[in-house]
């Protein structure tokens, strides 16, 4: 994740009035966690109006939708409008994962209990990231949980 990509995404989503939060390692990095990631993950509110704003914002950023490759429709805009659980966008200015159903949370309101704003970035707080990664159960998530836990304790000790 390049910081200029994250800033551009934040500014466009905020300008379009999209209700969302960054999640995953990008959110941890914004909070000061020493790590890297190749993509940006966002969790938008599932609200129908919000999904329309999100699609408009992503198109204005230069993400390509409704591309036909080998007679198959890829990156359909309808996936955003329908709130499909996971959508990975690679045809655009950077790699973006749109996650309408992150592991560990029943809905956006539940995840919002962990939400913080840092430099105008709405992010899932470290404890929420830990909850998400524990629920996902992937090997790469299990490896980073101890470091995230130490970082969380460090933040609480400030």
Q: Which helix (H) or strand (E) holds 30?
A: helix 24-30
Residue 36 inside a domain? The answer is yes
Q: Are 116 and 125 in contact (CB under 8 A)?
A: yes
pTM of the full structure: 0.92
Residue 25 inside a domain? The answer is yes
| pLDDT tens digit sequence for 96-152 | 999 999 999 999 999 999 999 999 999 999 999 999 999 998 999 999 999 999 999
Give backbone dihedrals phi and psi of 138, rounded to 5 degrees, phi first. -75, 150
What's the CATH number where 16 sits?
Answer: 3.30.460.40
Residue 10 inside a domain? The answer is yes
Residue 28 inside a domain? The answer is yes
Residue 84 inside a domain? The answer is yes
| pLDDT tens digit sequence for 91-100 | 889 999 999 9
Q: How many CB atoms lie within 10 A of CB 78?
A: 11
Q: Residue 87's domain spans which residues?
A: 3-125
Total of domains in the chain = 1
Residue 98 inside a domain? The answer is yes
Residue 156 inside a domain? The answer is no
Q: Are 1 and 40 in contact (CB under 8 A)?
A: yes
């Amino acid at each position: 994740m390049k910081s200029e990509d994250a800033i551009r995404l934040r500014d466009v989503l905020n300008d379009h009035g999209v209700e969302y939060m960054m999640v995953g390692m990008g959110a941890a990095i914004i909070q000061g966690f020493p790590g890297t990631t190749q993509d940006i993950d966002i969790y938008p509110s599932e609200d129908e109006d919000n999904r329309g704003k999100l699609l408009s914002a992503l198109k204005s950023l230069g993400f390509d939708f409704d591309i036909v490759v080998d007679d198959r429709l890829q990156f359909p805009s309808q996936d955003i409008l329908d709130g499909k659980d996971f959508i990975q966008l690679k045809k655009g200015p950077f790699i973006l994962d749109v996650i309408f159903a992150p592991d560990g949370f029943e809905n956006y309101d539940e995840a919002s209990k962990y939400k913080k704003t840092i430099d105008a970035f709405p992010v899932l707080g470290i404890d929420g990231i830990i909850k998400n990664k524990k629920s996902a159960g992937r090997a790469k998530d299990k490896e980073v949980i101890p470091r995230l836990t130490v970082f969380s304790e460090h933040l609480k000790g400030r």
